[in-house]
Structure 1
């Protein structure tokens, strides 16, 4: 498993890029993607603003697990949807290991 700071550098820019189109493509059928986007934006902001110490993301990851049903994608999920949930799950796991 990658260290969390590496995950932030590799995954966070991709998740940031992918979550907005995800809301447009799947928001009507899966309104939870709007909350996923909001939570991620908050997490991303915290990480950017706390470069010298680890950001406290416990509550955001806790809610993210609830909102995403433990990162379970719906049956009609596209590759981007699946990729976002995979990156978020790996971020969560890496964060909680450190």
Structure 2
């Protein structure tokens, strides 16, 4: 994918194509919802900002979040230490940031539109359940299980069978996280937008779907590449 955002790109189109751009706009007080039907250059001028600086920020977001995993296959030939560090830096940190940044949008949409779209109330509950479980899961990986996996890789694990049991536990936690994501997709009818969906509504659905993809890739690297090395 190529970065195509220019000063003439409409603010709303930028968010539609790159949902994470909303964080940049929010930080710079650029209205991407009701006032999003204007070029980026005009939005920047209205807020006393330099459009080139905004474009550079957007480019950083694009490169960080859109090109995280250019070729997953390369990890099959990487050592376990490298994979673990890659997962932490490109999935744990990114997921933590996204869960934090997305939370107020999810809360706002469910509060504002929940009366007429009760599925949003359930979506809100499922999102916060997923957030809690994933944060706890990632902390457990970093603090306990990943160090054990490194010991298994080095042949220095004092109790290999205990380390393997914990890997199996992680896989079960992955299954449960995947089930919550499945429920979010089901309750939102595959993130289908109603006719009255506002910009924030659209943003939440786009970022939830992106979070789903990020989580699936995270789990793929562990379940299908890292863990089998020690479970077989």
TM-score by length of 1: 0.85
* Backbone CA RMSD of aligned residues: 1.8
User: Residue deviations 1:50-95, cap 9 Å, x none?
Assistant: 2233653111011111011111221111111111111110111122
The answer to whether 1:26 aligns with 2:146 is no
TM-score by length of 2: 0.39
Instruction: Decide whether aligned partners of structure 1 residues 39 and 68 sit closer, same or farther in structure 2, where only a CA change above 3 A counts.
Output: same
The answer to whether 1:82 aligns with 2:170 is no
User: Residue deviations 1:24-55, cap 9 Å, x none?
Assistant: 21011110000110000001101221223365
For residue 192 of structure 2, the aligned residue among 67, 72, 77 is 72
- The unaligned stretches of length 5 or more in structure 2 are 1-65, 69-89, 142-169, 221-232
Aligned residues: 98
Higher Rg of the two aligned structures: 2
What's the counterpart of residue 44 of structure 1?
131
For residue 96 of structure 2, the aligned residue among 6, 9, 12 is 9
- The unaligned stretches of length 5 or more in structure 1 are none
Q: Which has the higher contact order (CA 8 A, sep 6+)?
A: 1
Query: Where do 4+ consecutive residues of structure 1 move more than 2 Å?
Result: 1-7, 52-56
**CA–CA distance in structure 1, aligned partners of residues 131 and 94 of structure 2:** 12
Alignment check: 8 A CA contact 1:32 1:68 kept? yes
Higher mean Cα deviation, 10-19 or 62-71? Answer: 10-19
